[in-house]
Structure 1
Amino acid sequence: MTTSHRMATMEPSISVAVEFLPAATSQNPMTSGVGLSNVQLSRTRRRMLDLVNRLHSTGVQVDIDLPQIAVIGSQSAGKSSLIESISGITLPRAAGTCTRCPTEIRLSKTTTAWQCAVYIRTLTDAKGQAIGQARNEAFGDIITDKTKVEDRIRRAQKAILNPSTPAKRFLASNDEDDRDDSELSFSSNYVSLQISGPDVADLSFVDLPGLIASVSSSSKGGKDDITLVENLVTTYIKKENCIILLTVACETDFENQGAHRLAKQYDPQGKRTIGVLTKPDRIPTGEEPNWLPFIRNEKEPLVNNWFCVKQPSSNDLKANLTWEQARKREDTFFSSTAPWCELDSVYQKYLRTGNLVDRLSLILSDLISKRLPQIYYELEENTSNARRDLASLPPPPSDNPHTEIAALIHKFMNEVAKHVEGVPHADGLLQLIRPMHESFRIDIRSTAPIFRPFEKKHDGVQHIHRAPFLVNEEGEIWDGEESDVEDYDAYPRRQRSSAHPRKIFIEEVMQRANDAITREFPGRHPFVVQKTFMDEFITKWESPAQHLCAAVHRVMSDYIKKLVSIHFGNFGQGHLEQRIKTIVHQHIEQCRNTAEEKINWLLQLETRPFSLNTHYFTDYRNKFLTYFRGERQRYDQSKLALAINQYYQRQPTPAPVDYGIEKVMSGLAQIGLTGISAGDLHKLPSSGPLEPAMTIMADVRAYFQVAYKRFADNVPLAIDQELVCGVEVGLLNALYDQLGINTPEGQEICKDLAQESPQIADRRADLKKRLERLEIAQKELLAIGS
């Protein structure tokens, strides 16, 4: 609920309270009960007030903002006397600070005899840390004699200030209230008084310790007490649904009273602050008019105005003046003492304790009625969140950790097996690896030798076309040796090798072939020529293969680690998760080593050219030989055309050119070679001096096609078998062996591993306590409709 919404909820309630406030003249202090309970409050509103009181008893105010009235003021501001006047009881009086812990007072008008029940409500431990579920402990039997309340409160306060001592001891103790022997100077735990009877008001409020301006040398807390009390007051008044009852003593300069500063800090517009001027009988003579602007709401204006009350003096209290007599004297004072009696009738309703109580009762009950629907919603939301947060925590340690750990391990292994086999998700293990296989294939393909069927001196002038059969087979990936037209650097890095491939021109091939001749027949060249070219591209395969293995290893490690965290991350204090991650890491490393050994073995196999796929090799060899011859013929025809053009450029007139094609075709027909077109001439064997180089180039290039496809399949298969699928093999045994859970010490090992994290245990305990008080509060809230 936003601040603006809460404030909007409160403002109408305050306005209604002001509009329907009964005039002061309607009250008869002689016949009204103590506190002057507002008879206009309906039974439903009293039930709502009781409901909020019960909600406060659950401690749920820690989770949601409950309506309440907080009485604040500086020391000696008359705050205690005001509380006594409203409640009809006497509070403990002692030297120094009287109120050293909050005192909650719940007043309820009943037809039964007057009684007071005293409780100690514990919200924090001895170190001031929240305990979660509030504890409500009855402190003694119910009191039916008002004169005994003061002593009971004093003893309850002392029990709160000495948390290490059982509270019951202070009920029977005869020790006097000596603040120096208390463990704490102040406490946020408080005394709760539940007062009922026919002459009490329907009202609830909490009396907070008075703000301290200075501390004595004998004070235990010293200057820390000033901050402690201010922080305690702040925890109450900073809440949007806290009505601030600000007490200001008229005997002290207004500017010197720190309570007003604090109230204005958290309620700058005065929408939820009600001011109370106390001790008007102690105003120095002649200074009374200085305080009238407050009653007229002209100075430091508040939405609900300022009130002025007069409480019994210390002499009156010593004389055992009753509260009924005190109210009568208060009425006489304001009716006969200037300048109070001279105020217009419209301002008379802001004088006297009875009018203040009526206003407080009306404002509080109206605020509760406005706030209840939101309280119900917030309880539902907080309960749902608490249940969700509790469900998100790992289950508490079981009584049989050995069985639990074994079950977790087997469930984890089943999950590993499922993901290794493949899951239908875009971010599955195999889906993450698949793009790496394609990149590897392209990297291997890019190592193909780039042969040029023309001399190096023509590089850059003569361009080679792409082989149509490769385009149809492999698509439009970069194919450096088949095209000079395409820009090598224009392709993505994953589609080309890291270095610009070297072109091998036909004269280099021919030179190697001639240099290698030993005892061969004329026109024959040794196989070692082809092998040297094959070795050049095969040696380039090691780096992409190892890179693929390393990349798959990284993906595997990260993926399996995530599975480990999912299955073991919430178990114990995390020791099991870390140990399993270590074991899994070592196991994956072993799988990687095995995969690398297989890759090296495959590389060794490729060092000796071999293939039984004769048809596949022969088909490629013929295609490449035809391809190289065609590109060479196109190259030769280009040279011939260039020479002819240059010849005729030197002649005065053009002359017909006979290319000899007709004679060649006629000669082929005479020897029986029919059905051959002029475009097929490049397919015929050539007896030229560079024909052996063409054959060698076709052999090497055809074998590359056979070998690269074989290698591009075998390496991913080896990695998949040894690294991906290999992770599952032997992992279960490794986990059991290295964890040692099947050894004689296995039970103790599992017990140690199952120890829950203190943070999680504390979190679970806090959530359980929170859920308990929220559910109790929900039941209390629902009870109002029954």
Structure 2
Amino acid sequence: MKLFAVGAHAVVDIPSVVAIGNQSAGKSSVVEAISGIKVPRDSGTCTRSPFEIQLSSSTGPWTCRVSIRSEYGLDGKRKSEVKEEQFGDPITNPDDVEHRLRAAAAAVLQPWIEPLSFLDMPADQSKVPILLIYRSLIFLVADKPELVKLVENLVVDRIKGNSLILVTIPMTDDIDNQKALTLARQADPEGKRTICVLTKPDVVSKGSKSRGIWLDVLEGRAKPLLHGYYCTRQPDDDEREGGMTPEKAREAEMRYFSTTEPWLSSTQKHRFGIKNLVDMLSPLLEKAIREALPALSEQTTKLLLQCEADLARLPAEIPNPVEYASHVLLVLLKEDVNTYVEGGIGSEGLVQDNNAQFVEFKKALHATMPEFRPFLRINAHSNEFKNFLEDTRDEDDPVDHVKPAVEAVYLDDMKDKIFKSITRELVDNVPFRAKVKLIKQFQDDWPTIAERCATAVRDITMRYVLSCVEKRFGPWPAMHAQLRQWTLDLIQKHFASCQKAIEVILLKGERHPYTQGEPFMRSREAKWFARYKDARAKEASPRNPFDFSSTAPSPGTAPPTTAADAPISSTFTFGIKKSPQSDSVLAKANSTSAPQPTPPSAPQPPAQQMKPEAVQQALAMLEQAGFKGLTEEDLGKLRKPDEYETEMRVMAQRQRDNIPILIDTLLVRPVAEDLHAFLVERLAPSSADAQERFSRYLAEDPSAARQRQIISARQKTLEMVKKELIDFGV
């Protein structure tokens, strides 16, 4: 009884006896006969609400308590917490039960009225409003299929699990046309929990074949069931109006079966009468309870654990004061973001995703690399050239395999670019503007490439940081929305600073090419120069006498200046070959705005190509002489410079950039460093309205609050069930 009182049946499966049957099948009469109490009865459909009767034995006087259990709301949904309130004082007179039940039913059907007010309703008046309410409800929905479905769902819900199903079938009906029996078979296919009670045997006319058919059913020859069928005879209207007591009713019942055919001649006399039905139901129910108790305890424990898990998944309730709670959450948010920015264990995603963007940036930048070819364009098809240094190439680096996306530049192209830049320069000096112009030509796409990389990193950083904000503040929509917007503002602020820095480096810095890595640059320059000279030395014989392909200086020309001899006004230093006309050009420098182009020297026989065997032999001999670590590229430096030495030196320039470091330094890391202080400043916890704002920001989501309420109520019920089971010794 206590388990039902706390609503345990709503969360765990408690064995009980459920009486079901078609309309006017005699359910109330059977229940009344078993329980000994009077239930509301009228002509036609009477019972409009489900009644639950709990019986217990006692040595004291007979008493009855009527309670109203509220399990469902007006919307038809089960309440989160089941409440059972006693309806009036205990009853000591069985004749008063019917009136009390009518008043309780009226209170249930009119929840907007104070329930206890129905207790004062006179007995002779209690029927009228209740019948009006019942009939009004039936009148409104009787033709709607929802009513049938509602009743059917109620029955199905009650007969599932461990409940014993007591199906009442009037002998005036066809047994094959019983919806209640169909539902029982669906819920209990093996029939282990189903008992059928045949009612109204005295209504079946004498001499008809119906009595014989029902006798076959009772004795198991037709429609057999595991527990068989029982038959009861209840007082008719005249006997009930005459004030027949339950004891007299049982005597009249047994007298009927012992004097009326064919029941008198039946071999299954133990299946007649309420007493025999109760004698069978009691041990069957006791057995069901005994077998269910261990499983009930286990089920309760599992459900309690499930409640704890469900509550753990909900956001924690914010303790007071809310300002302190928000401060703790902001500190946790800061730690989360720092872990991502530093690439901590389990939080490598942001750094890895950013690195992937930096690789794409390097690839795009690498694709703008000048494609210099130390040959004339006319001879391009007959010469191959590897545009990389062996000691700087990494086969595993995807960047080194990116092919330049720009058009190749040949010697005659370079000659033309230099010539078009000459103005008032001295002889043997290539204009600095020629170098700048060439560099800028290959840097045109750099701002776009850098902007694309910075934007991608910003979006990645934004995604990870906002995920941290949602993780810590997602359960509180108001606070989450506000912090999310402020976080976006902070990220955009640092992104703008990063954009300006990139602009300074790429758009302004490229106007004045400069580097502090001069030793490294000169080392690279020397190696590229050696490679270009070696490639030129191996070039095939020219196809016409006007081809610019000689590898030795023309007679009468002075050797070009070296890097050391060139002016020091620029890091891009090299000289241009002095021609026989250089003196006249110099003489005209004061009167001419631009010098005349230097004619090419006469073609010379090509230099002999280097043989691999000879190269290895030369390297070995040099090593014996004390020159360690030389390569074939170093041998190229021994060749005499040709007339395109200047062009080759321009080809040797390479520029490095630090855009990825700049993006990480000015965008990613500052977001992590400034986030906590930035948000605290915006939240203004010291302001006068701080408590009111924080309470509004951290108000729990209504759906989460409702879910917490439901789970907590369920947990409370299960804890009471667990206590009752422990007290019972389970």
**If the length of structure 2 is used for normalisation, what is the TM-score?**
0.81
Which residue does the alignment assign to 1:535?
Answer: 440
How far apart are 1:133 and its partner, in Å? 2.4
How far apart are 1:687 and its partner, in Å? 4.9
The answer to whether structure 1 residue 124 and structure 2 residue 55 are counterparts is no
Which residue does the alignment assign to 2:483?
Answer: 580
Residues 214-253 of structure 1: pairs in structure 2 closer than 5 A: 219-224=139-144, 225-237=147-159, 239-253=160-174
How far apart are 1:737 and its partner, in Å? 5.0
Q: Distance in 1 between matches of 2:7 and 2:610?
A: 109
Q: Which runs of 5+ in 2 are unaligned?
A: 545-606, 616-623
Question: Which one-letter code corresponds to 2:458 in the other structure?
Answer: H
Which residue does the alignment assign to 1:319?
Answer: 242
Counterpart among 380, 397, 406 of residue 301 in structure 2? 380
Cα deviation digits, residues 411-458 of structure 1 (max 9, x gap): 433443454344233534334323322332333233221111123334
Q: Indicate the SS of the match to 2:54.
A: strand
Pick closer, same or farther for the CA change 1:578–1:630 going to 2, 3 Å: same
Q: Distance in 2 between matches of 1:330 and 1:382?
A: 47
Q: Distance in 2 between matches of 1:376 and 1:246?
A: 29
Which residue does the alignment assign to 1:361?
Answer: 282
Counterpart among 114, 121, 125 of residue 173 in structure 1? 121
Question: Which one-letter code corresponds to 2:416 in the other structure?
Answer: Q
Which residue does the alignment assign to 1:292?
Answer: 215
How far apart are 1:609 and its partner, in Å? 1.6
Counterpart among 257, 266, 286 of residue 343 in structure 1? 266
Question: Which one-letter code corresponds to 1:125 in the other structure?
Answer: G
Residues paired across the two proteins, number? 649
Instruction: Work out whether residues 661 and 678 of structure 1, in 8 Å CA contact, stay in contact via their aligned partners in 2.
Output: no
How far apart are 1:561 and its partner, in Å? 0.6
Q: Indicate the SS of the match to 2:278.
A: helix
How far apart are 1:80 and its partner, in Å? 1.3
Which residue does the alignment assign to 2:569?
Answer: none
How far apart are 1:154 and its partner, in Å? 2.5
How far apart are 1:559 and its partner, in Å? 0.9
Counterpart among 402, 405, 423 of residue 496 in structure 1? 402
Pick closer, same or farther for the CA change 1:315–1:393 going to 2, 3 Å: same
Q: Indicate the SS of the match to 2:488.
A: helix
Which residue does the alignment assign to 1:476?
Answer: 395
Q: Indicate the SS of the match to 1:372.
A: helix
Cα deviation digits, residues 71-101 of structure 1 (max 9, x gap): 0112221111111211122222234432222
Q: Indicate the SS of the match to 2:539.
A: helix
Counterpart among 755, 762, 785 of residue 699 in structure 2? 755
Pick closer, same or farther for the CA change 1:460–1:296 going to 2, 3 Å: farther
The answer to whether structure 1 residue 689 and structure 2 residue 637 are counterparts is no
Give the stretch that moved more between structures: 216-225 or 91-100: 216-225
Cα deviation digits, residues 451-485 of structure 1 (max 9, x gap): 11123334344222464xx333341268xxxxxxx
Which residue does the alignment assign to 1:18?
Answer: none
Instruction: Work out whether residues 276 and 309 of structure 1, in 8 Å CA contact, stay in contact via their aligned partners in 2.
Output: yes
Q: Distance in 2 between matches of 1:183 and 1:340?
A: 38
Question: Which one-letter code corresponds to 2:245 in the other structure?
Answer: T
Pick closer, same or farther for the CA change 1:693–1:394 going to 2, 3 Å: closer
Pick closer, same or farther for the CA change 1:769–1:687 going to 2, 3 Å: closer
Instruction: Work out whether residues 538 and 607 of structure 1, in 8 Å CA contact, stay in contact via their aligned partners in 2.
Output: no
The answer to whether structure 1 residue 598 and structure 2 residue 542 are counterparts is no
The answer to whether structure 1 residue 437 and structure 2 residue 358 are counterparts is yes
Q: Distance in 2 between matches of 1:601 and 1:466?
A: 30
Which residue does the alignment assign to 1:629?
Answer: 533
Instruction: Work out whether residues 59 and 134 of structure 1, in 8 Å CA contact, stay in contact via their aligned partners in 2.
Output: yes
Question: Which one-letter code corresponds to 1:445 in the other structure?
Answer: H
How far apart are 1:555 and its partner, in Å? 1.0
Question: Which one-letter code corresponds to 1:223 in the other structure?
Answer: D
Q: Indicate the SS of the match to 1:137.
A: strand
Q: Distance in 1 between matches of 2:247 and 2:685?
A: 79
Pick closer, same or farther for the CA change 1:159–1:515 going to 2, 3 Å: closer
The answer to whether structure 1 residue 254 and structure 2 residue 175 are counterparts is yes
Pick closer, same or farther for the CA change 1:417–1:615 going to 2, 3 Å: same
Q: Distance in 2 between matches of 1:152 and 1:776?
A: 29
Residues 705-744 of structure 1: pairs in structure 2 closer than 5 A: 707-708=655-656, 711=657, 713=658, 715-728=659-672, 730-732=674-676, 734-739=678-683, 741-744=685-688
Pick closer, same or farther for the CA change 1:524–1:737 going to 2, 3 Å: closer
Q: Indicate the SS of the match to 2:173.
A: coil
The answer to whether structure 1 residue 454 and structure 2 residue 408 are counterparts is no
Cα deviation digits, residues 21-47 of structure 1 (max 9, x gap): xxxxxxxxxxxxxxxxxxxxxxxxxxx
Q: Indicate the SS of the match to 1:320.
A: coil
Pick closer, same or farther for the CA change 1:400–1:183 going to 2, 3 Å: farther
Cα deviation digits, residues 118-155 of structure 1 (max 9, x gap): 22222123443322222222233333332332223222
Question: Which one-letter code corresponds to 2:200 in the other structure?
Answer: K
Pick closer, same or farther for the CA change 1:150–1:504 going to 2, 3 Å: same
How far apart are 1:223 and its partner, in Å? 3.3
How far apart are 1:567 and its partner, in Å? 1.5
Question: Which one-letter code corresponds to 1:473 in the other structure?
Answer: T
How far apart are 1:386 and its partner, in Å? 0.9
Residues 48-59 of structure 1: pairs in structure 2 closer than 5 A: 53-59=1-7
Question: Which one-letter code corresponds to 1:500 in the other structure?
Answer: A
Instruction: Work out whether residues 69 and 82 of structure 2, in 8 Å CA contact, stay in contact via their aligned partners in 1.
Output: yes
Q: Name the Cα RMSD after superposition.
A: 3.4
Which residue does the alignment assign to 2:468?
Answer: 563
How far apart are 1:288 and its partner, in Å? 0.8
Q: Indicate the SS of the match to 1:116.
A: coil
The answer to whether structure 1 residue 67 and structure 2 residue 7 are counterparts is no
Q: Distance in 1 between matches of 2:108 and 2:136?
A: 22
Cα deviation digits, residues 377-420 of structure 1 (max 9, x gap): 11001111112222332333544333433443344334434543
Q: Distance in 1 between matches of 2:88 and 2:72?
A: 21
**If the length of structure 1 is used for normalisation, what is the TM-score?**
0.75
Residues 82-121 of structure 1: pairs in structure 2 closer than 5 A: 82-121=30-69
The answer to whether structure 1 residue 153 and structure 2 residue 101 are counterparts is yes
